[in-house]
Amino acid sequence: MHAIRIPDYAVKAALARRGKLHLYERIDGPRTALVVVDMQNAFMLPGMPAEVPVARAIVPNINKLAAATRSAGGTVAWVQMTIQDEFDSWSTWFHHFMSEERRPAMLKALSRGAPGHALHGELETKPTDLFVEKTRYSAFIQGASDLDSVLRKRGIDTVAIVGTLSNVCCESSARDAMMLNYRTIFVSDANATLTDEEHNATLANILQVFGDVASTEEMIARFVRS
């Protein structure tokens, strides 16, 4: 688990901007979605090309949050990064941000149907949950997935972001969710990345201008049924 410490400058900036540290002290269960980002074998299992070791440690918190969200009448959405055979539409990433050695390994791991594409076996999913594929870091950016339209049809106005990597797909999704007018909560001990420094920098970014930051227990304690 990450050693969580939100920098003092971020706390002071958040207080100066909005006058309080926490934005959403009561969370309407039926209007809330827990968005679980990229908790797939490609990021979870030892030796995989995108392994994030800390991601294995947050599985219990994600399962606890999923159970609490369902109990409160909310939606649990499991989001899976998917790399298509032809990725020319995002060639900037596919051809420039991955080495020639890494590219085929990532394609193999995150292609639909591959073992790496599957959700980690210790995650407690339910048939009634949502299962969504995305093709960009953010699950909410235009064209990446249908998550936004599905959540809106369900009357969702609040999203809690959990998963991996904190500072890449999770932060990107949180930023876009807020700018699409969702009340956005980033769960501090249910996100994971490669270092504490990167994780805490993301918490600072979110707290200052993109949403609320709460622990698993704080998130659960805020649920109410409308």
pLDDT surpasses 70 at 226: no
Mean pLDDT for the chain? 93
Which pTM does this prediction carry?
Answer: 0.94
- Catalytic-role residue among 28, 38, 189, 212: 38
Q: Which of 28-37, 104-113, 194-203 has the lowest mean pLDDT?
A: 104-113
Q: Is 134 a catalytic residue?
A: yes
User: 87 pLDDT band (50/70/90 cuts)?
Assistant: low
**Which position has the higher pLDDT, 28 or 49?**
28
Query: What is the per-residue pLDDT across 49-72, written as a single tens digit (0 to 9) for each?
Result: 899 999 999 999 999 999 999 999
Residue 190 in contact with residue 65, Cβ under 8 Å? yes
Query: What is the per-residue pLDDT across 147-172, written as a single tens digit (0 to 9) for each?
Result: 999 999 999 999 999 999 999 999 99
**Mean pLDDT, residues 128-137 taken together:** 96
Distance of alpha carbon 158 from alpha carbon 160, whole angstroms: 7
Distance of alpha carbon 116 from alpha carbon 192, whole angstroms: 18
- Catalytic-role residue among 169, 176, 189, 212: 169
Residues pairing with 214 in the sheet = 187
**Mean pLDDT, residues 12-19 taken together:** 94
DSSP state, 179?
A: H
Residues near 34 by beta carbon (within 8 Å), at least 6 away in sequence: 65, 66, 69, 74, 75, 76, 77, 159, 160, 162
**How is the chain split into domains, by residue range?**
8-224
Per-residue model confidence (pLDDT) at position 72: 96
Distance of alpha carbon 53 from alpha carbon 43, whole angstroms: 8
Distance of alpha carbon 104 from alpha carbon 70, whole angstroms: 38
User: 133 pLDDT band (50/70/90 cuts)?
Assistant: very high
Q: What is the CATH number of domain 8-224?
A: 3.40.50.850
Distance of alpha carbon 88 from alpha carbon 100, whole angstroms: 15
Q: Is 170 a catalytic residue?
A: no
- Catalytic-role residue among 134, 170, 189, 212: 134
